[in-house]
Structure 1
Amino acid sequence: MSKNYSLAALLLGGFICAGLLLLGTSIGNSLLAMKGMERTVAVKGLAEREVKANVAIWPIRFNEVDNDLNTLYQTVQQKTDKVVAFLEQQGFNKDEISVSLPSIEDRQAQGYVDPNVKYRYAARVTVSLYTHQVDLLLESRNKLLALAKEGIAIASQDYDSRTEFLFTELNSIKPAMVQEATQNAREVAEKFAKDSDSVLGKIKQASQGTFTISDRDSNTPYIKKVRIVSTLTYYLND
């Protein structure tokens, strides 16, 4: 009976070892297969376009000084009306033009009077134009000399008074640009797969990226560069 028990135990042990060996081989093959499926390549696809701004914001600013506050207000109103009339003569609509309240500074209210300051009051006025007529605005800016003849000295185009150009129609070109960036990424991936003696598989993961809109250059801020970089990960097959 002792011998039969030992033989049974030996056989059982042999079956267990064989089972474990087969299980280990099966798991190893599965891991190798999974590892083979996880061969991937990550690439970036670029799409760029140049577009023209469809919205422009033009702040027209001028300053006026006087020692009499009432006279200053009258002069400011007259010159403001002339600026508005100038814009309307160029072909802009009234609803595109807005006038802010003048900023009045009393130079003697600060307690210290600079002897070189000739006028006590100084007014700063801004007439703003918000328009979709970008070409008309570009043409009108070249005619500001007409305001100078009216005694209106327009402030220089510094950071606060520079004309701002916007492109607000991104949705109209977004689908085509995403497709272009995806196609560009695929071409890069196919080249990589060919160089590595592999076959390009399906997309594992895709990230669209963020659209950026910037000026093409400082001389033509009304021309915008739209850019997107997409990141895609492809499977590689033998």
Structure 2
Amino acid sequence: MSGRAGILNGLLVAIGLAIGGYFIGDGFVSARALERSVEVKGLAERDVMADTAIWPMQIMVAGNELEPLFIAIEKQGAQVQTFLRENGFIEDEISVSAPSVVDRLARDYSDPNTRFRYSVTQVITVFTSKIETVRNAGQELAALGKAGIVLNQNDYNFQTQYLFNGLNDLKPAMIEEATRNAREVAAKFAEDSASRLGRIRNANQGQFQISDRDSNNPHIKKVRVVSTISYYLVD
């Protein structure tokens, strides 16, 4: 009797293990099915006009006596400000820095044969939302040159900057567009793989980038965002 009971118990244990193994195995299959996914990227772009311009204008005079240089820089600064007002800018949009003096002979690496000992510079900066006014005035700078005013236009620090500050207004629509584009790509992939598109597994909005549309039109900006989204695939 005890032998038959032992055999019966053994059969029950074996059956239990088999059933448990089936459910465990089925669980792994289901888990693997849930892990089937596709990761896609969605792009959204906009070309927008800059809404802020920063236009620094550096004037420079050089000579061997400081007093006439300060008189000259003051006169030229006043001429530049008059030029700006005549071209559509108001006082609140114009700021003037204090003159800066460089003594070339006082430098450790100075050239004793330098023609002029002193150079005096002053920066007049326009900060404005009048983008087209800045561009139009920039085309009239020859008038200052004819008046004997030397502007430092080649230094990168004195290039006109065009900025776009309206990103927050664009974000919702652009994120929606990028997400829609990503879903279209994922749906096509699911269709080609004989699957259906499931819910979102995870999503990364991506960073917004603002750059010049091209080198010739820095006042036109390209706003770009790439969203990365992963979807589950369902049989």
Give your verdict on TM over 0.5.
Answer: yes
Q: Which structure 1 segments of 5+ residues have no match?
A: none
Query: Given residue 201 of structure 2, which amino acid in structure 1 is its aligned partner?
Result: K
Counterpart CA distance in 2 for 1:113 and 1:171 is 53
Bigger drift between 150-159 and 174-183 goes to 150-159
State the secondary structure of the residue aligned to 1:118: coil
Counterpart CA distance in 1 for 2:18 and 2:164 is 67
The equivalent residue for 1:54 is 51
List per-residue Cα deviations over 1:113-157 (Å, max 9, x = no partner).
533x33221112211111111111011101112212322122223
Counterpart CA distance in 2 for 1:218 and 1:102 is 32
The equivalent residue for 1:37 is 34
Q: 2:213 aligns with which of 212, 216, 224?
A: 216
List per-residue Cα deviations over 1:2-29 (Å, max 9, x = no partner).
xx12221211111111111101101111
Residues 113/40 of structure 1: CA separation in 2 closer, same or farther (3 Å cut): closer
State the secondary structure of the residue aligned to 2:40: strand
Does residue 186 of the first structure (1) align with residue 212 of the second (2)? no
List per-residue Cα deviations over 1:168-193 (Å, max 9, x = no partner).
11001111110110011011101101
Does residue 14 of the first structure (1) align with residue 11 of the second (2)? yes
How far does residue 36 in structure 1 lie from its aligned partner after superposition?
Answer: 1.3
List per-residue Cα deviations over 1:84-135 (Å, max 9, x = no partner).
12111212121211111222111232375533x3322111221111111111
The equivalent residue for 2:116 is 119
Q: TM-score, normalised by structure 2?
A: 0.95
Query: Given residue 181 of structure 1, which amino acid in structure 2 is its aligned partner?
Result: A
Does residue 177 of the first structure (1) align with residue 174 of the second (2)? yes
Bigger drift between 20-29 and 147-156 goes to 147-156
The equivalent residue for 1:229 is 226
Instruction: Give the superposed CA RMSD.
Output: 1.4
Q: 2:203 aligns with which of 202, 206, 216?
A: 206
Counterpart CA distance in 2 for 1:109 and 1:41 is 67
The equivalent residue for 1:5 is 2
Counterpart CA distance in 2 for 1:176 and 1:110 is 56
**Conserved 8 A contact 2:59-2:150:** yes
Q: 1:25 aligns with which of 22, 44, 57?
A: 22
Q: Which structure 2 segments of 5+ residues have no match?
A: none
How far does residue 66 in structure 1 lie from its aligned partner after superposition?
Answer: 2.2
**Conserved 8 A contact 2:186-2:197:** yes
Residues 178/10 of structure 1: CA separation in 2 closer, same or farther (3 Å cut): same
How far does residue 42 in structure 1 lie from its aligned partner after superposition?
Answer: 0.5
